[in-house]
């Protein structure tokens, strides 16, 4: 590690790795507690308007429609205009995207997109292929040092500036580290729900860090549920059944074999995720839901190898029988409030990726915009951090602000069930108010309870339906931004 003061990046998924790589030649110390990440599990691909009949403006329009026009139009513009460049940059790092016989990028379609614009690498193994390329680049780069199996459980401040972290190793030893800046890139909160497509480690740890120093939060109530996780009773982290299957013609069915999305939305099975997730959620309480992908036929294994192997390992042949599916916590549109450059309300503290909220996703994320977000805004943040001076920011005495203890296993299981019931695709005020009281007690025992309280409080403040925040007993629909903002 260079003797120069590093940028400290907390989190080793796509957003954290891209930020670290883009910060060259400034030294970066990347800290992660687990080699697993939601980025590696991503199947859907990367949305990019690269077809001749497509445009960044059309991509922005679809992003805004999916987000119920709660999006920040300027940030959406940065995302969609930067998509083609992001694909090219990944190719320079060695990512091999799927192409047709003529050498053109194969473009798939997913829910909420007006046309095919999803780029894949290795079919439904896109997240893993991108992660492999980024890790290889980080290893080649002399400026990035990675430490694994460390838990960042506190922030160091000097005055009102964040200037370092406190970490705990597997053996229980602790260390405080100085940095010229701290970047939180810890991913989402799906692990706090009883059913999730995320790894258990996606538990809001980064939000908890930011909450300890009173960093401003934004849109915490907007939690996206993926409508097609593989239904495995008793499991916490559920395998994902990619939305690209519906883009290839698969249909959702109820327990009687009736199409679930018929007459529910003009786009039917390719409606935005919040709409489909609510319908699957309701069907799950009325006998279950299934995804019928038999029409894909013998080509299934080649086009969707991850889903095929996963289904077969659980005794399901997707070529011969419908796949049982359920809605599972998938992506957090809200998070630590940041601007276009990843700056939080706390000097010296930055955030990027799913843990951050710059307004790009609005009230509901458009499919395959998540990896794109990590790449576009990770590169932007990394390049900004290059110019930071090699000094410890702030003045005066140093102080450590710790996140506090974690919940016991039993209490964490209780919290997951509580959030699943209260903060699911369909919400009820009475249930949320009761959950708020229970969370206050849990917050006294562990930091996960504090994160849950912040989520529930945000949901209770938003009194009308908007995107993924849907009241069963809503008085009237919420109002989003004008379509003209995205014209």
Active site residues: 273
Tokens standing for residue 269: 């099975």
Whether the link from the prior residue into 63 is cis, omega within 30° of 0, is no
Spacing of C-alpha 419 from chain mean position? 17
**Which pairing describes strands 161-169 and 174-178: parallel, antiparallel, or unpaired?**
antiparallel
Distance between CA atoms of 86 and 92, rounded to whole angstroms?
10
Beta bridge partners of 156: 164, 400
| Alpha-carbon dihedral sign for residues 284, 220, 47, 197 | negative
Tokens standing for residue 112: 């909420």
Distance between CA atoms of 390 and 27, rounded to whole angstroms?
10
Q: How many CA atoms lie within 13 A of 66 on its CB side?
A: 30
Q: Yes or no: say if 38 and 190 are a contact pair by the CB < 8 Å rule.
A: yes
Beta bridge partners of 167: 152, 175
Distance between CA atoms of 144 and 25, rounded to whole angstroms?
9
Q: Is 80 helix (H, G, I), strand (E, B) or coil?
A: helix
């Amino acid at each position: 590690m260079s003797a120069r003061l590093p940028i400290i990046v907390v989190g080793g998924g796509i957003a954290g790795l891209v930020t670290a790589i883009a910060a060259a030649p400034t030294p970066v110390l990347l800290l992660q507690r687990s080699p697993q990440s939601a980025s590696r599990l991503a199947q859907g691909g990367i949305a990019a308007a690269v077809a001749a009949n497509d445009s960044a403006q059309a991509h922005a329009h679809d992003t805004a429609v999916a987000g119920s026009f709660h999006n920040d139009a300027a940030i959406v513009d940065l995302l969609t205009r930067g998509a083609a460049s992001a694909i090219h940059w990944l190719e320079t790092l060695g990512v091999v995207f799927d192409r047709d016989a003529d050498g053109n990028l194969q473009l798939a379609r997913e829910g909420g997109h007006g046309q095919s614009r999803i780029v894949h690498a290795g079919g439904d193994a896109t997240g893993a292929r991108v992660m492999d390329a980024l890790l290889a680049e980080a290893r080649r780069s002399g400026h990035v040092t990675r430490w694994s199996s460390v838990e960042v459980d506190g922030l160091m401040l000097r005055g009102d500036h964040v200037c370092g972290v406190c970490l705990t190793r597997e053996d229980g030893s602790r260390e405080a580290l100085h940095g010229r800046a701290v970047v939180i890139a810890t991913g989402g909160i799906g692990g706090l729900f009883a059913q999730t497509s995320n790894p258990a480690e996606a538990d809001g740890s980064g939000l908890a860090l930011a909450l300890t120093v009173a960093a401003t939060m934004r849109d915490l109530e907007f939690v996206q549920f993926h409508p097609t996780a593989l239904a495995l009773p008793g499991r916490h982290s559920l395998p994902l059944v990619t939305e690209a299957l519906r883009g290839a013609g698969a249909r959702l069915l109820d327990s009687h074999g009736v199409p679930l999305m018929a007459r529910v939305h003009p786009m039917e099975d390719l409606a935005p995720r919040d709409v489909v997730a609510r319908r699957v959620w309701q069907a799950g309480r009325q006998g279950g839901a299934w995804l019928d992908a038999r029409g894909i036929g013998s080509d299934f294994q080649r086009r969707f190898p991850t889903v095929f192997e996963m289904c077969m390992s659980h005794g399901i042949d997707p070529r011969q029988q419908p796949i049982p599916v359920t809605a599972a916590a998938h992506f957090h549109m809200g998070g630590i409030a940041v601007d276009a450059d990843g700056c939080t309300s706390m000097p010296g503290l930055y955030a990027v990726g799913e843990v951050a909220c710059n307004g790009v996703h609005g009230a509901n994320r458009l499919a395959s915009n998540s990896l794109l977000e990590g790449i576009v805004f990770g590169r932007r943040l990394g390049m900004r951090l290059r110019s930071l001076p090699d000094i410890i920011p702030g003045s005066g005495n140093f102080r450590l602000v710790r996140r506090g203890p974690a919940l016991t296993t039993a209490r964490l299981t209780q919290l997951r069930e509580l959030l699943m019931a209260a903060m699911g695709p369909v919400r009820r005020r009475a249930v949320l108010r009761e959950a708020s009281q229970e969370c206050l007690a849990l917050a006294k025992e562990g930091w996960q309870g504090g994160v849950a309280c912040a989520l529930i409080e945000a949901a209770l403040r938003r009194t009308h339906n908007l995107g993924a925040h849907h009241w069963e007993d809503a008085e009237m629909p919420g109002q989003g931004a004008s379509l003209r903002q995205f014209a």
